[in-house]
Chains A and B, each alone.
Chain A
């Protein structure tokens, strides 16, 4: 009697300082069977999904869930888990349709292409203020700490209607949440509590004195409880912060290496695809036996779709590792796919475009202050990015 060979088993994607985004591992998985078996650091068996087509199939499958309450949901690390509804009600990226849709529908009007276009002057002002601060501080900076992180935090706080006087508080607490390397679990838990307390106070104030801001408008819909609303706001804040910052930082490095593209708005989509900062964010679990690309995935098995692997799939993109803003393939899934696709994606595009444009217009002599091979890339979290970006001008 013969048994059919089991699926290929591979090490959990080993991200190292030398290869923080392990594209060569991803390429060999794609070439083998696309879907490969692996084990999380905690010993839990999971499926890694690496092909563009398969990742899209997983992220739109009705029997594959984003809800961490389901048994087998992958938890890729203590500080990176998806909060459950009893921990943070309103954290709707951890809900499936139709429960998920109530939250998404209330928020869509805030992030339409038109609404985001109206936000451009505010984004431009925020970017320019940060550049003013850079220039006032001398001729060197850490572009992550001094520019890439504060810009999205300040944009979100102005969108939410956080009063100017409180933006430093808001920014400092969000910074603690991001600093996985230098802050402790306890410091991050404290920062989350303080942010939630602040957000709750803001909701109470806006409830009494409505204004022209996102919180006031969401309150006026009457669709969310105050508790759900505070979870939603924390989610917007966290989801839009480090991801955007990583895109800004990495994008500056890639543009400095490809200076002929500085000043072009066409670079944004290609930078999103190339860097795929949210590589390991879209975690899932099968809630029934399903088949993806001919492979049976059993109910209760965890699935880790690798966004960067999909965005570097040679079946979907010619010469995928090359930075080529002129490429005609528009199918990247840097913002995910399916009903959870990034709600704020059009705001991120505007932030990236304005950040690069103003930075290089106002500081044309901007350059790295360390050799390229000494840059500290993030390899120890679920996101790809830079810990710091020393620059001078």
Chain B
């Protein structure tokens, strides 16, 4: 699994950070940043949830 984010589209709701804090973070501007773009097995369900929950559809999950 790989994950990409669109920082221009992000509205900083923080749903990704709340659900998968080991994969997503927010910078000082509140915009999403990736801690890793290759989530470990233990984080994959949370990353899928983050992709679904993101209100601005800025998180894309690639299930390679």
Question: Can you spell out 13 A-B residue pairs with CB atoms less than 8 angstroms apart?
Answer: A59-B55, A104-B12, A108-B31, A109-B12, A111-B12, A113-B14, A114-B26, A331-B53, A337-B55, A338-B56, A339-B56, A341-B55, A345-B13
Of residues 151 through 185 on chain A, the ones whose CB sits less than 8 Å from some CB of chain B are none
Q: Does B35 contact A (CB under 8 A)?
A: no
Q: Give chain A nearest CB distance to B59 CB in angstroms.
A: 13
| Contacts from B to A (Cβ < 8 Å) | 11-14, 17-19, 21, 26, 28-31, 49, 52-53, 55-57
Pairwise interchain contact A346-B14, C-beta atoms closer than 8 A: yes
Query: What CA separation (Å) do A75 and B62 show in the bound complex?
Result: 42
Query: What CA separation (Å) do A59 and B56 show in the bound complex?
Result: 10
Q: Give chain B nearest CB distance to A218 CB in angstroms.
A: 13
User: Chain A residues with Cβ under 8 A from B17's Cβ?
Assistant: 112-113
User: Chain B residues with Cβ under 8 A from A112's Cβ?
Assistant: 12, 14, 17, 26, 30
| Interface size band for A | 20 to 34
Query: What CA separation (Å) do A346 and B30 show in the bound complex?
Result: 13
Query: What CA separation (Å) do A182 and B55 show in the bound complex?
Result: 36
| Residue on A nearest B19 in the bound complex, by CB | A330
Query: What CA separation (Å) do A342 and B55 show in the bound complex?
Result: 10
User: Chain A residues with Cβ under 8 A from B13's Cβ?
Assistant: 335, 341-343, 345
Which A-B residue pairs are the 3 nearest by beta carbons? A108-B30, A108-B12, A341-B55
User: Chain B residues with Cβ under 8 A from A335's Cβ?
Assistant: 13
Pairwise interchain contact B29-A109, C-beta atoms closer than 8 A: yes
Q: Is the interface of B mostly helix, strand, loop or mixed?
A: loop
User: Chain A residues with Cβ under 8 A from B31's Cβ?
Assistant: 108
Query: What CA separation (Å) do A252 and B36 show in the bound complex?
Result: 39
Pairwise interchain contact A108-B11, C-beta atoms closer than 8 A: yes
Query: What CA separation (Å) do A337 and B13 show in the bound complex?
Result: 10
User: Chain B residues with Cβ under 8 A from A90's Cβ?
Assistant: none
Q: Does A34 contact B (CB under 8 A)?
A: no
Q: Does A208 contact B (CB under 8 A)?
A: no
Query: What CA separation (Å) do A343 and B18 show in the bound complex?
Result: 14
Of A101, A105, A113, A341, the most chain B CB neighbours within 10 A belong to A113
Q: Does A60 contact B (CB under 8 A)?
A: yes
Contact indicator per residue, chain A 36-63, by CB within 8 Å of chain B (1) or not (0): 0000000000000000000000011000
Q: Does A336 contact B (CB under 8 A)?
A: yes
Query: What CA separation (Å) do A294 and B28 show in the bound complex?
Result: 42
Query: What CA separation (Å) do A325 and B13 show in the bound complex?
Result: 22
| Residue on B nearest A100 in the bound complex, by CB | B11
Q: Given known contacts A108-B12, A108-B29, A108-B30, is B56 in contact with A113 (CB within 8 Å)?
A: no
Assuming A112-B14, A113-B18, A346-B18, what are 10 further A-B pairs, CB within 8 angstroms? Answer: A108-B12, A109-B28, A112-B26, A112-B30, A113-B17, A330-B49, A335-B13, A336-B55, A341-B55, A345-B14
Pairwise interchain contact B30-A111, C-beta atoms closer than 8 A: yes
Which residue of B11, B52, B57 contacts A104 across the interface (Cβ within 8 Å)? B11
Of B13, B14, B29, the most chain A CB neighbours within 10 A belong to B13
Query: What CA separation (Å) do A337 and B17 show in the bound complex?
Result: 17
Pairwise interchain contact A341-B11, C-beta atoms closer than 8 A: yes
Query: What CA separation (Å) do A148 and B40 show in the bound complex?
Result: 41
Of residues 110 through 157 on chain A, the ones whose CB sits less than 8 Å from some CB of chain B are 110-114
| Residue on A nearest B31 in the bound complex, by CB | A108
Pairwise interchain contact B14-A111, C-beta atoms closer than 8 A: yes
Q: Give chain A nearest CB distance to B9 CB in angstroms.
A: 9
Pairwise interchain contact B30-A60, C-beta atoms closer than 8 A: no
User: Chain A residues with Cβ under 8 A from B29's Cβ?
Assistant: 105, 108-109
